[in-house]
Structure 1
Amino acid sequence: MKVALLTDCYLPRLGGIEVQTHDLAAQLRSRGHEVEVFTATLGELGERHGFVEDVDGVAVHRMAIRLPWELPVNPFAPPEVRRRLRAGGFDVAHVHMGVVSPFATDMARVALGLGLPTAITWHCLMERSQPVFRALGHARRWGAQGAALSAVSGVAAASVQNVVGRGSDVRVFPNGIDTTAWRPPPRTPRDADAPIEVVAAMRFAARKRPLAVLEVAARARELAAAGSRSGSGTSPGMRLTLFGEGPERGRLERFAAQHAMADWVTMPGRVGRDQLRERYWDSDIYLTPARLEAFGIAALEARTAGLPVVARKDTGVGDFVVDGVNGLLGADDDALAHGLARLLTDPELLHRIADTNRTLAPEQDWPSVAALAEDEYRRAGAA
């Protein structure tokens, strides 16, 4: 079939929706489908105004206009996209929604207005925006028009379901991962007294809560040391590496300086997938305190790389991390600190979880996710 993927954000921007949409396009092509992308994101050299370029074998329609901060917004795009969808012989449209997605919202209207079978996936949690979405009524109307509605995790799907009501079935369409690429190689034995390597990776933006990484790690370090002094465990020490970049960096650096973290915390900036993967393979624990995590791609990558994951239990991470099996889940930051301290002081638990993750791949491998995409497209066509 011929698939149109419609998204505000796409490469060369880097983020969850951008990378996942790119990888989905590649997976669909590998299964014999023809795929084109429509986006409000500028190209690498500023391509816009409907310019079509080839990105890894996929035609990308750059429906962008020049705006301050290169915002992926174009209220003038619908007529031209409507023309291209009508003339392009597409069988299905797949719209990818974030918290604020003006382009994708317009594209859902365009596709459904053409009578094109349409799948719509939310990559966000609606919790704080539910009253707004209910008042606008977009999602409810889309469901009533026959769109196949989905979200990237169980908690995200529940938040969308609360908005659309009982009239439409909101299913889970997860993000995907190349489990073969992230599968860890045999581990080189480490000295028994070597510090435990804790790693985190995220955008340094307030909603991702990077400061909480430092706070949770510092508290866990104190708890582990106290447990060691009381004779209730051993504390080999820990090192924390926080990968990422963004507007919160200055705040993080000031916090680390004020709390004398320089000897055990490093923040080397943002790195590519390959470098991050190799660092995961050489680390011991992954930490993420994000509260508004619809899925948690970085956590899935870490879990696939063999790391026990310490995360909030009320997020999308719970779709691939079972508490006590693939990591430790907590209700708040204090629970995360105690969970991390537990892994620091209980080598048997740490090794058992790590062995599980290194042996058993998660269910969100790309072939399975691509097959689910085809199911969603058939569901949209049937509706």
Structure 2
Amino acid sequence: MRVLHVITGLGSGGAEQQLAAVVRRLPARGVDCDVITLTNPGPVADRLREDGVRVGHLGMAGNRDLSALPRLTRAVRHGRYDVVHTHLYRAGVYGRIAARAAGVRAVVATEHSLGAAQIEGRPLTVPTRGLYLATERLGRATVAVSAAVARRLRDWGVPAERLHVVPNGIEAERYRYCPSARRGVRARLGVAPEAFVVGGLGRLVGGKRFDVLVRGVAALPGAVLVLIGDGPERARLLRLAAALGVADRVRLLGDRCADEVPALLAACDVLVSPSREETFGLAVLEGLAAGLPVVHAACPALEERPAADAPGATRFDGEVSELVTALRAFARAGPVRLPQPRAVRHYDIGRAAERLTEIYRSTATSVAGPAGGTR
């Protein structure tokens, strides 16, 4: 079976990393994958190519660059794909239209980023919602990464028979704690072995609320903040750190490839996710997989599991004062590494790949014509 994945960009965001992790496992299930990115062939594109995946780049100039549509349609038609699988809002709109124009009716879309007020970082306006629903009808299956996202899609009017919940997955073994990685990373970052290090992981965008982390660390003398990720909020966070007098205790590491993240987490003592709205909460699971205590404001992945499945996770209200109280307690207790909890094992990436394979096969079968084709 040949599947084309179409995604908005291939920077180091959660959806992009998830795509790379799943695609790595699909060939063993008889699924041959290509990937096309509309914009930004960033570090995840490099990772995919290293894995032997063909990656194309449309060079889309903006949301309304309609010239990308015929190019994408030609690529779909040329590849003779059985299934087209789109990821994220813009790719969902363009990818569904292009797939149908190329004669591919087996179209699957994963919704990674539908929040209560935003989708893929853009406000949920009436036109945005209308365009989403109009193009959603061109597909055969819509995948939600959590039950919370599925509920929002149902509330929008997406038919239940087209909805599937396939939670994000994690490559748990890659995150197991390595003491030598901790020492090496701290030395490279200029962080003392005994320093209390607070970690953050994700795109530097307003909704992630990493300014709360900067303020929290500023209230803890000697604490160091390590932020893994990049985005439009980078300059503002640096200005805030300077204004609070903690620029020397804040490390903004930028985009890092997935293979670097476990070692960077090994250098931390606690991971904090201050975002009040998440569609899944993959960063929280990555912290737990690394054996870290985790403080989070929202995480559907854990909210949909029994509390006993993640004993190392602590929920806070998102305010700086409560975060500071929690961090002080962890700093006093000293470094600790926890065993990987049941929640991490539950969200194994292999399960996600297996479930997607089932959806591909059932979707392709449902649209097959008398000769067995999908066109």
- The TM-score normalised by the length of structure 1 is 0.75
2:88 corresponds to: 97
SS at match of 1:3: strand
1:254 corresponds to: 239
Instruction: Pick one of 358, 362, 366 that aligns with 1:375.
Output: 358
2:330 corresponds to: 343
Question: Structure 1 pair 134/166, CA: closer, same or farther in 2 (3 Å)?
Answer: farther
Query: Structure 1 residue 216: deviation in Å?
Result: 3.2
Contact 1:29-1:35 within 8 A present in 2 as well:
yes
Query: Structure 1 residue 308: deviation in Å?
Result: 1.5
Higher relative contact order (CA 8 A, sep 6+): 2
2:58 corresponds to: 63
Question: Structure 1 pair 361/135, CA: closer, same or farther in 2 (3 Å)?
Answer: closer
Question: Structure 1 pair 317/267, CA: closer, same or farther in 2 (3 Å)?
Answer: farther
Report the Cα distance in structure 2 between the residues aligned to 1:118 and 1:79, rounded to whole angstroms. Answer: 17
Alignment of 1:145-224 (within 5 A): 147-165=140-158, 167-185=160-178, 194-218=194-218, 221=220
Report which of the two structures shows the higher radius of gyration computed on alpha carbons.
1
2:132 corresponds to: 138
Query: Structure 1 residue 61: deviation in Å?
Result: 3.1
1:239 corresponds to: 224
Report the Cα distance in structure 2 between the residues aligned to 1:131 and 1:73, rounded to whole angstroms. Answer: 16
Q: Deviations over 1:277-334 (max 9, x none)?
A: 2131232210121233323333332221111211113655645794861311123325
**Percent of aligned pairs with the same amino acid:** 25
Question: Structure 1 pair 3/149, CA: closer, same or farther in 2 (3 Å)?
Answer: same
Q: Deviations over 1:212-240 (max 9, x none)?
A: 11123345x49xxxxxxxxxxxxxx7433
Report the Cα distance in structure 1 between the residues aligned to 2:197 and 2:19, rounded to whole angstroms. Answer: 32
Question: Structure 1 pair 239/62, CA: closer, same or farther in 2 (3 Å)?
Answer: closer
1:266 corresponds to: 250
Contact 1:202-1:208 within 8 A present in 2 as well:
yes
SS at match of 2:157: helix
Question: Structure 1 pair 305/30, CA: closer, same or farther in 2 (3 Å)?
Answer: same
2:24 corresponds to: 26
Contact 1:8-1:72 within 8 A present in 2 as well:
no
Question: Structure 1 pair 39/342, CA: closer, same or farther in 2 (3 Å)?
Answer: same
Report the Cα distance in structure 2 between the residues aligned to 1:321 and 1:303, rounded to whole angstroms. Answer: 15
Give ranges in structure 2 of 5+ residues lacking alignment.
43-47, 118-122, 184-192, 368-375
Contact 1:95-1:108 within 8 A present in 2 as well:
yes
Question: Structure 1 pair 126/157, CA: closer, same or farther in 2 (3 Å)?
Answer: same
SS at match of 2:67: coil
Report the Cα distance in structure 2 between the residues aligned to 1:155 and 1:167, rounded to whole angstroms. Answer: 14
2:37 corresponds to: 39
- The TM-score normalised by the length of structure 2 is 0.76
Question: Structure 1 pair 380/329, CA: closer, same or farther in 2 (3 Å)?
Answer: farther
1:226 corresponds to: none
Question: Structure 1 pair 26/258, CA: closer, same or farther in 2 (3 Å)?
Answer: same
SS at match of 2:311: coil
Q: Deviations over 1:177-196 (max 9, x none)?
A: 32222222369999xx9443
In angstroms, what is the RMSD of aligned CA positions? 3.6
Query: Structure 1 residue 372: deviation in Å?
Result: 1.6
Contact 1:149-1:171 within 8 A present in 2 as well:
yes
SS at match of 2:155: helix
Contact 2:177-2:291 within 8 A present in 1 as well:
yes
